[in-house]
Structure 1
Amino acid sequence: MSLSTTFLKDINIIEENTVGLKKLENKTILVTGATGQIGSFIVQALSIIDSIKSLGLVIIAVGRDEAKFRNKFSDFFSNNNIKFVQQDFKYELNWNFHTDYIIHAASNADPKAYVTDPVGTMNGNYIATLNILKYAKEENIEKLVYISTGEIYGEINDIEPLVETFSGYINPLKVRSCYPISKRATETLCISFMSQFGVNVNIARLAHIFGPNFSNKDSRIASQFLKSAFEGNDLIMYSEGKQVRSYTYISDCVSGILTVLLSGENGEAYNVSNMKNAISLHDFCHHIAEVKGVHLKTVVANEEEEILKTPINHAVLSDHKLKKLGWRPVINVKNGVESTMKILEGSNK
């Protein structure tokens, strides 16, 4: 990731729109999934925001692959407030250090893996969080934020924005349900640790997040289409793209997560979403094609592509609850796509 002008503008947006940054003074924050799209952007932002650097914050970045971490953070090693910890959450934690805050962003969020490794997907969500919560309990941390998903709301036919108290139907007999059901169960696990052991938790339910920092193996549609267009390829859709989502640019997502961590009411879930970006998949892809000057085509889906499709046709997450904390999303879809392309261009120079 290059520290391009566009990337630094994204960081400024995070600084301006996060509510409660001063609470990080002389604190230590642990971020799991630090090489993933969300976790890496959080670590990068926290490591270079000037107002945070002056607070004496220490960042512990947790990931499975140190080489991947060093590649992703090659431009950030001059910032000695980042420490890397290698950990596979399949195993018990053997940590002997303290942290004040935790953002638990480690998760298998790859739709192809939901089909090819559903057991690993469920274990990864539940077991990893169980281990993190045990550690949080032992260290008596100030707050843990669990990064969840709008998919926990289930199959929705209503077009009203989804509020945090809603719970829709998920078919437990579908393999694809391994992801949303394990996320639901893990949310309850977090709340159970709060009730039984006094661990302060919040849940951040992410809308459809897009932006840079995705991996080449990321099979999510937004990442695949951004990558394909960046490489100059035409975009191919396997449906009419009528599914409506509240697309949220990554800098807005990160400022939302940090606001939940620092200003959210304990035990509450908050959607991290931008309702102004509630558009169809077709329109989202059209913005990408328009920005990069490629074509958008529709073809008939084969059996494999049909299996990967989510049954959720309408998933606009209400952003009202998080806005009540003082947070505001500011990036529209087209500007977010343009920023993504500029940052990717900077990364390849």
Structure 2
Amino acid sequence: MKSVAFQEDLCVISAYLKEKQFSGSTIMVTGATGLIGSIIIKGIVEYNKENDEKIFCIGLARNPEKVNSVFQEELDANGLVPNVSFLYQDIEKSIPETVKCDFVIHTANSTTSKFFMTNPVEVIDSIYTGSKNVFEFARKSNAKGIVYLSSMEVFGQVFEEKRVGENDLGYIDLQNVRSCYSEGKRLVECLAASYAHEYGLPVKVARLAQTFGAGVPSTENRVFAQFAKSAIKGEDIVLHTNGLSCGNYCYTTDVIRAIFLLLKAGKNGDAYTIVNEETSRSIYDMASMVAENFSDGKSKVVFDIPEGNEFGYAPQTKLKLSSAKMNSLGWNAKYNLKEMFERMMPDLKE
């Protein structure tokens, strides 16, 4: 059962698709069962309910059972999602040239910090090989637009407290295996710029702040969900670091509006940071805000810091992202951090 906030979000996506004139297009979404990929597809389904001229979608995924679970409410009587077809394969395999589409949104990626620590070689290989396969497919399909979802982790460690733009990259320790993710993302951003330069591929890089909101599944285990679940249960919020690292966030539909805008706007090969600047704050401050506002006074913030980085957290940074470049395209974030948690909480309680 969709929460009220999540249904509102799907209607927002639907209206934006109509405003930006995606009617009649075919859009491929890799990582179809992930948070952002699945919400994009559900937004397209909502659009098709409300409009006669349809948008067709190809969702790339690995697991049919997970597809049926994630899209259970979208399935029709025949067990299909109307106007959506799913292509089941690993992203590290070439996409068949018989598949054709107008736009590509490449969201497929691991987001599990522990996996970065235990399987760094596989992380790098998946990020690069998967993205190259997607870029090659988009090039051969003569796609009108492609967006690659990168991460704020490409900025690395920033030690000055100032707003940083897309070119203000910080330090990444290449001897730290946790850097496999951030350095892999940097590599693919360079690959995107190279494809734009050499082949004229209309690819834009969406460099995302941490993204969440309504529709987050109860299985989500990233730090924002851990904080929210602790508050719901009235338990203490436990920090495994000193909490001084600065986080940056953006609401799911704010990010998705930016992605669809980038499909048709911006400079090919360029990176655009997607963030709500009002959300920039330390991990400790975010934990305190959640405890204060969402636990009925039952939760407090406590520390349990292990000697090693067994949880795979990114190195400490003072990073405060700037949204100026994205704003210049006419985009603005709508929801602040407290509102993001307010809209996510009903789904986690469910």
How does the TM-score come out when normalised to structure 2? 0.91
Select the residue among 165, 171, 192 that pairs with 1:169: 171
Please tell me whether the aligned partners of residues 11 and 46 of structure 2 are also in contact (alpha carbons under 8 angstroms).
Answer: no
CA distance in 2, matches of 1:165, 1:14: 30
2:120 maps to 1:121: no
| Structure-2 residue corresponding to 1:260 | 262
Query: 1:38 Cα shift?
Result: 1.4
Select the residue among 289, 292, 295 that pairs with 2:295: 292
Residue correspondence of structure 1 range 171-186 to structure 2 within 5 A:
171-186=173-188
3-state DSSP of counterpart to 2:73 = coil
CA distance in 1, matches of 2:156, 2:54: 41
Query: 1:168 Cα shift?
Result: 1.8
Mark the runs of 5 or more structure 2 residues left unpaired by the alignment.
none
Runs ≥4 residues deviating over 6 A: none
Please tell me whether the aligned partners of residues 144 and 261 of structure 1 are also in contact (alpha carbons under 8 angstroms).
Answer: yes
Select the residue among 299, 319, 333 that pairs with 1:329: 333
Select the residue among 336, 341, 344 that pairs with 1:340: 344
Query: 1:94 Cα shift?
Result: 2.7
Query: 1:279 Cα shift?
Result: 1.8
The two structures, once aligned, show a CA RMSD in angstroms of: 2.2
Structure 1 269/330 Cα, relative in aligned 2: closer, same or farther at 3 Å?
A: same
3-state DSSP of counterpart to 2:72 = coil
CA distance in 2, matches of 1:51, 1:160: 45
| Structure-1 residue corresponding to 2:306 | 302
CA distance in 2, matches of 1:20, 1:162: 33
| Structure-1 residue corresponding to 2:68 | 70
2:11 maps to 1:8: no
CA distance in 1, matches of 2:152, 2:17: 22
| Structure-1 residue corresponding to 2:35 | 37
| Structure-1 residue corresponding to 2:46 | 48
Structure 1 52/311 Cα, relative in aligned 2: closer, same or farther at 3 Å?
A: farther
**Higher mean displacement: 113-122 or 44-53:** 44-53
CA distance in 2, matches of 1:15, 1:323: 21
| Structure-1 residue corresponding to 2:318 | 314
The C-alpha deviation readout for 1:111-163, integer Å capped at 9, x for no partner, is: 11110111111111100001111111111111110000011111101111121
Query: 1:30 Cα shift?
Result: 0.4
3-state DSSP of counterpart to 1:191 = helix
| Structure-2 residue corresponding to 1:206 | 208
How does the TM-score come out when normalised to structure 1? 0.91
The C-alpha deviation readout for 1:217-239, integer Å capped at 9, x for no partner, is: 65431233234434554321123
Please tell me whether the aligned partners of residues 19 and 262 of structure 1 are also in contact (alpha carbons under 8 angstroms).
Answer: no
Query: 1:8 Cα shift?
Result: 1.7
Structure 1 168/54 Cα, relative in aligned 2: closer, same or farther at 3 Å?
A: farther
Mark the runs of 5 or more structure 1 residues left unpaired by the alignment.
none
Aligned residues: 344
The C-alpha deviation readout for 1:252-304, integer Å capped at 9, x for no partner, is: 12112222223223222111100011122122222322213341332231135
3-state DSSP of counterpart to 2:188 = helix
CA distance in 2, matches of 1:310, 1:109: 12
Compare relative contact order (CA 8 Å, sep 6+) and give the higher one, 1 or 2: 1
Give the letter aligned to residue 4 of structure 1: S
Select the residue among 89, 94, 97 that pairs with 2:96: 94
Structure 1 304/15 Cα, relative in aligned 2: closer, same or farther at 3 Å?
A: farther
CA distance in 2, matches of 1:21, 1:268: 24
CA distance in 2, matches of 1:258, 1:51: 19
CA distance in 2, matches of 1:186, 1:315: 21
**Higher mean displacement: 202-211 or 261-270:** 261-270
Identity %, equivalent residues: 29
Query: 1:92 Cα shift?
Result: 2.7
Please tell me whether the aligned partners of residues 205 and 270 of structure 2 are also in contact (alpha carbons under 8 angstroms).
Answer: yes
Select the residue among 25, 44, 52 that pairs with 1:27: 25
3-state DSSP of counterpart to 2:146 = strand
Give the letter aligned to residue 41 of structure 1: I
